[in-house]
Structure 1
């Protein structure tokens, strides 16, 4: 048995290929299936199964596309209520893959339909735990109150997770290798480790969810301090339940125009420095300038799933890559057009006089756009007003406009988006982005 882990860093997502005797089962594949095809070809193997541990909230899966292109059978829990061709994979069901046996365990808690896959080959055991068991944490239980086939209140799911952690893993050996669907940086949990895998023995020692707890204390702990829920999460659950359209078909016919302008909601993905030099009035700077930037998360946290928008990129050659990133969260159908900008009729952003700000902070309204959990851990500026970025388009009008406004986050990436939102929402007010200079105040 060979298990290949694939990582998509911007969403802190891990997907897997289990290979045995020339046959492959894919677990929780991301939107672009090409890497899995390449792996199969390199190993002279055939993809025969795709297993969804649950309908994911934070990314769109390619399970249906892989089924259509390879004939692989899709497996998931009956509780998922999938709208595409599939076979049930619930407690005790098995898939034989060469010398490897894949066995399903129903492990509700993150969602009512979550499963864990137990892969065994001789004395080897691996656990593909989806969003149930992470390294150092467990999946959050508050994402299925408004989406999916089976909806459940967070308290109900928290209780399910307690029962799962108390009972489901008890008969498995300490040497079992744990392979989760997410690592640190994911919004599907709150204290995920940087480690990409672990053993069940290590988790039993160090993961809080395996500690002896009353049900009441466990529920209190798991519900406390969870991150915000991005706008797109429920939309992705429903998209994955139905099965997404093929990736390339979805993006190849989106119009593209060079050296032009746009009206309406506009997302500019260029680097902050380029945006500030010249951008379209009213555009929002959600940067995709690096391969690891959390572009997808913030696109889906700032823009609603039903909002059409124009996408501004730096050059034509980057169109396909950017659209693939938009499609990771299923937003490609909302893109009206992709454009590059002409050099005329652009607005620039005013640079902050950092020395004046340091010496006269009372002359500014300071807006803290970090997440609520970050703000609760401690303010960087005592008099800053809390307006988390995921809510800023809705709360901007509540910000006083009698002084120039300085926007800050924790490192500079988010404040580029936040300051561009306020430039659009608060007309006639000087908006400054503290950007990376915030690090000098921490």
Structure 2
């Protein structure tokens, strides 16, 4: 049994290809299926199965496209009520692929329809579990995503209780030597305390993962519900897409209008400017929102999906047209590519710029500024950077910015400088007459 792990770092999404004697299965595939196709070709393997552990909320899966292009059977729990061609795969079901036997374990908690795929190599006795969003390394999946996602009616406390039952009963028959392969690593919004490791064993998790420790159901439920991150707007949208099956990836990212070297622009929708903040502050179309995409460390997928609403149309500004494929493909990972009205690059026209920021004056006279902390509520409560700061989380800022006082210059900060570029531009969009400054990476001077 050969297992290859794929790590989409901006979303901390882990997916898998499993090969045995010329046959291949894929678990929780990303939006672009090309890497799996190339791996199958390298191994002279035919893709015969795609396992979906549940309808994902944080990314769009390519399971339907893989089925159409390879003939592979999609296996998913009947509880999903999937609208695409599939075969039900539920508790006790087994599927044979050459020397590997895949067994299904129903593991609700993150979602009511979640399954874990237990793979046993009959030749080597190697065992692995592909745990989806149920069991992570060092943590378990959050139970509060299905109240506003898709057509599910499960409530967070009920799912938290289901997760407790899963953790205390569903893995007991498996040995400590079983490998654990989750669908997410550290940085994902599907959990809160994940390890930087992307694989583990059940033995290690039984020792080090808080969810395996002896505790009452009440203690477990309190711990899992406390301090969960915010829920981006796009999560429910992605559940719906994944329940139906997404459009072809290449087709969806290739037919978007392009307008090059724009010298004037009358906007009828939000503009997402993906350029570095220095270029944005020097010149940008009025009302633009600066969500940077300089590298995979910039989580443009998450923040476009948190700031722009599902079905809301928007424009995208690129630093160079050579960035088109990468940035549009990243936007497609959260299912928003169909909402792009056009991709733009700027010409020589000077549109708008940000006011110069006197950092020395701020350090000497912080009380002369209205300080806006755009971190999440839990971050703000854990470590307030300035006593006078007002918390306006970035994902809510388009709705709350008009509540910010404008009698003083407004100073925006986050934890490290990335989010404040978006936050300051949103506030300037909502309050165009206000003086708005971005503390950016200088926030590190106050950490």
Alignment of 1:9-408 (within 5 A): 9-122=9-122, 123-260=125-262, 261-263=265-267, 264-408=269-413
Q: 1:423: how far off?
A: 0.8
Post-superposition Cα deviations, 1:56-78, rounded to whole Å, max 9, x if no partner, equal 00000000001111110001000
| CA RMSD between the two structures | 0.9
Q: 1:314: how far off?
A: 1.2
Post-superposition Cα deviations, 1:183-216, rounded to whole Å, max 9, x if no partner, equal 1100000101100111100110111111111111
User: Distance between the aligned counterparts of 2:423 and 2:151, measured in 1?
Assistant: 35
Q: 4+ runs of 1 displaced by more than 2 Å? A: 146-151
Q: 1:427: how far off?
A: 2.2
Q: SS where residue 376 of structure 1 aligns?
A: helix
Q: 1:346: how far off?
A: 1.1
Post-superposition Cα deviations, 1:208-262, rounded to whole Å, max 9, x if no partner, equal 1111111111111111111000000000000100100001111211100101135
User: Distance between the aligned counterparts of 1:351 and 1:234, measured in 2?
Assistant: 40
Matched, 1:429 2:431: no
Structure-1-length-normalised TM-score: 0.99
- Whether contact under 8 Å (1:80, 1:148) holds in the other structure is no
Q: 1:351: how far off?
A: 2.9
Q: 1:149: how far off?
A: 4.5
Q: Once structures 1 and 2 are overlaid, which stretch shifts more, 168-177 or 251-260?
A: 251-260
Number of aligned residue pairs: give it.
442
Q: Which runs of 5+ in 2 are unaligned?
A: none
User: Distance between the aligned counterparts of 2:356 and 2:332, measured in 1?
Assistant: 33
Q: Once structures 1 and 2 are overlaid, which stretch shifts more, 333-342 or 145-154?
A: 145-154
User: Distance between the aligned counterparts of 2:183 and 2:319, measured in 1?
Assistant: 32
- Whether contact under 8 Å (2:150, 2:237) holds in the other structure is no
Q: 1:343: how far off?
A: 1.8
Q: 1:391: how far off?
A: 0.5
User: Distance between the aligned counterparts of 2:297 and 2:96, measured in 1?
Assistant: 37
1:184 to 1:262, Cα distance in 2 relative to 1, 3 A = farther
Q: SS where residue 345 of structure 2 aligns?
A: strand
Post-superposition Cα deviations, 1:347-375, rounded to whole Å, max 9, x if no partner, equal 11123211110000000000000111111
Q: 1:95: how far off?
A: 1.6
User: Distance between the aligned counterparts of 1:23 and 1:364, measured in 2?
Assistant: 63
User: Distance between the aligned counterparts of 1:247 and 1:240, measured in 2?
Assistant: 13
Q: SS where residue 405 of structure 2 aligns?
A: coil
User: Distance between the aligned counterparts of 2:444 and 2:32, measured in 1?
Assistant: 36
Q: SS where residue 112 of structure 1 aligns?
A: coil
User: Distance between the aligned counterparts of 1:271 and 1:116, measured in 2?
Assistant: 41
User: Distance between the aligned counterparts of 2:217 and 2:444, measured in 1?
Assistant: 41
Q: 1:272: how far off?
A: 1.0
Q: Which runs of 5+ in 1 are unaligned?
A: none
1:262 to 1:324, Cα distance in 2 relative to 1, 3 A = farther
Q: 1:421: how far off?
A: 0.3
